[in-house]
C-alpha cells in the first residue's frame, strides 16, 4: 500500500473540497494516484460541490414540518444556485427530507443526509447546501407555531407560554400565536427583548446618535439618546415593535390584551426567523 501522507490528503481536499476521510480512502484505493483519486471522488459525486463552490447558493427554500401533536416543529433552509432548480420536485423532496430529519432531532444531519445530498448535487449539477436548521420542542403550557412566507422565502418559529393548560386550547390564544408569526415574518425583529441586545450594539447606536446631536447642550443630550434608543428598541425588539395589524398598539399591548381576555399570564418565550440567502 502506498504511503498516504497528510500533505497528499490536504492537497486532494483543496482540489476537491471532499471530506478528509473520503480523500484518504480515495488515495488508499488508488494507491496514492492523485488524478485517479480525483476521478473516483467525482464519480461518487463528492467533488461536484467543489467544482461549483465559487458559485453562491442563495436560492432554495425554507420549510417547516410539525409533529402530529403539534408539540415539535423542525425548520430548515436548503439553498441552491438557481430558482429554476429550487422549483423542481427533486429539490423540494430533498428539502422535505432534510426538514423531517430536523424534526426527528437528528444531530449529525450532514452524515445522515450525505448520500441524499450527493444525489441531488449530481442530479442538478448545482451547489446544494443545508444552510441552517431550527427545532422547537414545546416546554410547559403554551403553543409553538411556524409560518412560511412568500413560498419559502421567509420562515418563522415562535413559542408562547401560558400559565393554565386550558389556555393553550383557547381560540384567542391561538390567534395571538399565529399573529406573532406574521409579525416576525413582516417586521423582522432581531431580538425578543432589549435585554438580549448586545451591549456593543447599543453603544454603537449611541455613538451614531451622539454625532447627530453635537450642537445640542450637554444637559439634554442624554435625554435625546434615551429617546433614540427607545425608538431603536421598537424597531429591533419583538415585544416593543408596533403591531403590524394595528400599529398604534405594541406587540406587548396585544399580548397583554390576550392575557386579560384569557385570565392568564402569557409569555413570548423565543422566536427564530430565517430569510432565504440572508445571514
Least confident residue range of 51-60, 79-88, 91-100, 134-143: 51-60
- List of long-range contacts for 120-123, beta carbons under 8 Å, 24+ apart: 120/90, 120/91, 120/94, 121/45, 121/48, 121/49, 122/45, 122/48, 123/90
**Three cell numbers, residue 119:** 444525489
Structure confidence by residue, pLDDT tens digits, 179-198: 999 999 999 999 999 999 99
**C-alpha 59: how far from its chain's center?**
14
- Residue 221, classified by CB atoms within 10 Å of its CB into exposed (0-12), middle (13-18) or buried (19+), is middle
Annotate 116-139 with b (16+ C-beta within 10 A) or e (fewer): bbbebbeebebbbbbbbbbbbebe
Q: What is the mean pLDDT of residues 61-69?
A: 98
Q: How sure is the predictor about 50, in pLDDT bands with cuts at 50, 70 and 90? A: very low
- The grid cell for 96 is 422535505
Q: What are the C-alpha distances in Å from 274 to residues 22, 87, 157, 170? A: 32, 19, 9, 28
Ranking 87-96, 119-128, 240-249 by mean pLDDT, the lowest is 119-128
Give the pLDDT of residue 11: 80
Q: What is the pLDDT of residues 266-276, one digit of tens each?
A: 999 999 999 99
Euclidean distance between CA atoms 143 and 19, whole angstroms: 40
φ and ψ at 54, to 5 degrees? -80, -10
H or E element: which one contains 130? strand 129-137
Q: What integer pLDDT is reported at residue 82 of this predicted model?
A: 93
Q: Tell me, what's the pLDDT at 231? A: 94
The structural domains of the chain, ordered by start, are 6-51 (1.10.8.10), 56-137 (3.30.479.20), 140-197+237-279 (3.30.479.20), 198-236 (1.10.286)
Q: Which residue has the higher pLDDT, 91 or 37?
A: 91
* pLDDT confidence bin for 1, thresholds 50/70/90: low
Percent of the chain residues topping a pLDDT of 70? 95
Interval 118-124 mean pLDDT: 89
Say what the pLDDT of residue 49 is.
Answer: 47
**Confidence check: pLDDT of 46 > 70:** no
Q: Quick check: 232 pLDDT over 50?
A: yes
Exposure of 209 in the CB half-sphere (CA atoms within 13 A): 19
Q: At 51, is the pLDDT very low, low, confident or very high (cuts 50, 70, 90)?
A: very low
Mean pLDDT over residues 73-97, rounded? Answer: 96
Distance (Å, rounded) from C-alpha 70 to C-alpha 215? Answer: 56
Query: CA–CA distance from 122 to each of 48, 52, 91, 127, 279 (Å)?
Result: 7, 12, 12, 9, 27
**235 has a pLDDT exceeding 90:** yes
Name the more confident of 170 and 48. Answer: 170
pLDDT interval class at 2 (50, 70, 90): low
Residue 110 has a CB neighbour count (10 Å cut-off) of 11
Read off the pLDDT of each residue in 34-41 and give the average, rounded to a whole number: 84
Average pLDDT, the chain: 91
Instruction: Flag the least confident range among 22-26, 84-88, 188-192, 259-263.
Output: 22-26
The whole-model pTM stands at 0.80
Q: What is the pLDDT of residue 52?
A: 45
Predicted local distance difference test score (pLDDT) of residue 54:
44
Report the range of poorest mean pLDDT among 35-49, 81-95, 106-120, 225-239: 35-49
Amino acid at each position: 500500500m502506498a504511503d498516504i501522507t497528510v500533505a497528499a490528503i490536504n492537497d486532494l481536499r483543496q482540489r476537491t473540497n471532499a471530506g478528509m476521510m473520503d480523500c484518504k480512502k480515495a488515495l488508499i484505493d488508488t494507491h496514492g494516484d492523485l488524478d485517479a483519486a480525483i476521478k473516483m471522488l467525482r464519480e461518487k459525486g463528492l467533488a461536484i460541490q467543489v467544482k461549483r463552490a465559487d458559485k453562491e447558493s442563495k436560492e432554495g427554500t425554507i420549510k417547516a414540518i410539525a409533529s402530529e401533536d403539534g408539540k415539535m416543529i423542525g425548520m430548515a433552509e436548503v439553498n441552491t444556485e438557481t430558482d429554476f432548480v429550487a422549483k423542481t420536485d427533486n429539490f423540494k423532496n430533498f428539502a422535505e427530507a432534510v426538514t423531517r430529519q430536523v424534526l426527528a432531532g437528528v444531530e449529525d444531519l450532514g452524515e445522515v443526509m450525505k448520500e441524499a445530498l450527493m444525489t441531488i448535487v449530481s442530479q442538478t449539477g448545482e451547489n446544494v447546501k443545508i444552510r441552517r436548521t431550527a427545532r422547537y420542542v414545546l416546554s410547559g403550557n403554551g403553543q409553538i407555531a411556524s409560518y412560511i412566507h412568500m413560498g419559502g422565502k421567509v420562515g418563522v418559529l415562535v413559542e408562547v407560554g401560558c400559565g393554565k393548560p386550558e389556555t393553550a386550547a383557547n381560540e384567542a390564544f391561538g390567534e395571538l400565536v399565529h399573529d406573532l408569526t406574521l409579525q416576525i415574518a413582516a417586521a423582522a425583529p432581531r431580538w425578543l427583548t432589549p435585554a438580549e441586545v448586545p451591549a456593543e450594539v447599543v453603544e454603537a447606536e449611541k455613538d451614531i446618535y451622539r454625532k447627530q446631536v453635537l450642537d445640542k447642550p450637554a444637559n439634554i443630550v442624554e435625554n435625546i439618546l434615551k429617546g433614540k434608543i427607545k425608538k431603536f428598541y421598537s424597531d429591533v425588539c419583538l415585544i416593543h415593535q408596533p403591531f403590524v395589524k394595528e400599529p398604534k398598539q405594541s406587540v406587548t399591548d396585544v399580548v397583554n390584551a390576550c392575557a386579560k381576555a384569557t385570565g392568564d399570564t402569557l409569555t413570548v418565550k423565543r422566536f427564530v426567523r430565517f430569510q432565504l440567502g440572508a445571514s
